[in-house]
Structure formats: C-alpha cells, structure tokens
Amino acid sequence: MEKTFSKSNKFKLLFLALYFVILTVERVISLVVCFAGDMSRLDWLDYYMIALTILAIFGAYIFIVVRFSKKSDSAKSESAFGDLAIAAGILLLGGMVHTEGSIPPIQFASYGMILVSMAIHTAQNVKHEKNPDKKWLSFAYIVAFSMAIPVVYHTSIELSYLFIPIEIIVSLGMVLLFTDMLRRFYLGNGESSFSMLPFMIALFGDFAVLVLRWQEYVNTFVLIFICVTTVLWFAGNVLCIKRK
C-alpha cells in the first residue's frame, strides 16, 4: 500500500515543483533571446540546441499531464515522485545545452531545488530505516554524478567535427542515466546500487570530452565532479562489500 503524503513529502514536492518552474522560465527566456536575435547567423548546433530545448519543455509537461491524468490519486502517492523524476530528466535534457541567452546562475538555482528535495528524501529514509552512511553516500554520489554531466557548448578546436557529436552523446547519455538513478532513488529507500555500467559510461564519456577540448578550455567543473563521483563510487562499493 502506498503511503499518503506526509509533511516532508509535501516539501519534497514543493522543491521539485520549484525546479520545474525556475528552469522552465530560464529556458523560455533563452529561447526568446534566440528567436529575437539574428537567426541567419546560427549553425546546425544552435538549431539542435534550440530544438532540444523546445522538445524538452513540451515533453516534460506532456509527460506529467499524461501520467497524472490517468489516476486522480496518483499525485497524492509516493509513486508520484518516480514519474516526476522522469519528467525532471526530460526537462534537464534542454537544460544541458548552452543556448544563446542562457543564465547559468538561474539554472544552478533550479538544480539546487532538486538537491534539496533529494536531501529531504534521504533524511526521511534515514529516520525510518537507519543506515545513514549508505543513504547519505548515495545522495552525494547521485548529486556528484549529475554535476559531472557536460553541458553542450560551441567549440573552435580542429576536431570539432568529432568533439561536438561526442559531447552531445555523452551529455544525453548521462542525463538519461541520472534520470534513472533519480527515479530509483525516489521509489526506493534512498540508496544507490553503485552500478559499474553508469559509472564507467560517465567516466570514459567525461574523459573523452575533457581531453578533446583540453587545449582550448579545461572544464574544471566537470573535471572536479567526475573525480568526486569516482571517489564516491569506490566508497559506495566498499561499503556494499562490507555489508555483505
């Protein structure tokens, strides 16, 4: 039987809702700037980023409407967070591209709303099930993983024809992996399985993105968080082994 909403669940939902509102407003502002400018000077990457942003916004909200219109009480159960995690991931696809008019501080503020919601979920599970070490380690790992997702940017390096497709694939792939992690995190007890495949995809994907653009620009943000992700992944697996 699914649990009805507690006060903590309402706060979780509130911060998730703030993520959707803040990021949607920022993305719409960016699109307005793009369409108000000189569209003739845009290249295929610009059009890709604009199209992805539009599809992400509509896709996220259409998904929410479809999922929550099926059952009148679905939004009042804990299973709602699983569906909202998927919608959050869809919207995030459009947030991981640097369109003209992007406002990074507002984007970070929106992502912070998810982190607060996740922290509340972790605290809930620690209170009810104990084992705070793995739960907070899982929270930190998923957060670090999300921060290690590269944003798609323009580049002027010689290997741009190779770098840009790789950057797009890595970004899309890691958003999908994070979405799955977030869904499992909310539907489960706030613990990660610290699976090898998602971690290896992130590690080698970020490595390729960082190395190819190293001479032009060192993305220290992604570099720092993929290192943190690596440390937390090893720590999580060590903890899992000790628990067996």
pLDDT at position 79 is: 80
Alpha helices in the chain (DSSP H): 7-36, 44-70, 80-95, 104-129, 132-147, 160-187, 196-212, 220-243
pTM for the predicted model, two decimal places: 0.92
Using DSSP's 3-state secondary structure scheme, residue 131 falls into coil
Fill in the DSSP letter of residue 101: T
pLDDT tens readout for residues 47-82 = 999 999 999 999 999 999 998 886 555 555 668 899
Residue 4: pLDDT band with limits 50, 70, 90: very low
CA distances to 114, 224, 227 from 93, in Å: 15, 22, 23
- Whether the per-residue pLDDT at 177 is higher than 70: the answer is yes
If you average pLDDT over residues 178-199, what whole number do you get? Answer: 93
pLDDT tens readout for residues 77-108 = 668 899 999 999 999 999 999 999 999 999 99
Integer Rg of the chain from CA:
19
Q: Treating both helix axes as pointing N-terminal to C-terminal, what angle do 7-36 and 80-95 enclose, rounded to 10 degrees? A: 20
Q: Could you tell me the sign of the dihedral formed by the alpha carbons of 48, 54, 60, 63, in that order?
A: negative
- Whether the per-residue pLDDT at 146 is higher than 60: the answer is yes
- Torsion angle (degrees, nearest 10) of CA 125, 129, 130, 132: -40
If you average pLDDT over residues 175-189, what whole number do you get? Answer: 94
- Whether the per-residue pLDDT at 1 is higher than 50: the answer is no
Per the CB < 8 A criterion, the answer to whether 188 and 180 are in contact is no
CA distance 35 to 33: 6
If you average pLDDT over residues 230-235, what whole number do you get? Answer: 96
Place of tokens 């010689």: 158
And the tokens for 77?
Answer: 């159960």
How many CB atoms are located within 10 Å of the residue 46 CB?
17
- Whether the per-residue pLDDT at 203 is higher than 80: the answer is yes
Burial of 235 (C-beta count, 10 Å sphere; 0-12/13-18/19+): middle
pLDDT tens readout for residues 5-51 = 578 889 999 999 999 999 999 999 999 999 998 888 889 999 999 99
How many CB atoms are located within 10 Å of the residue 201 CB?
15
- Whether the per-residue pLDDT at 3 is higher than 70: the answer is no
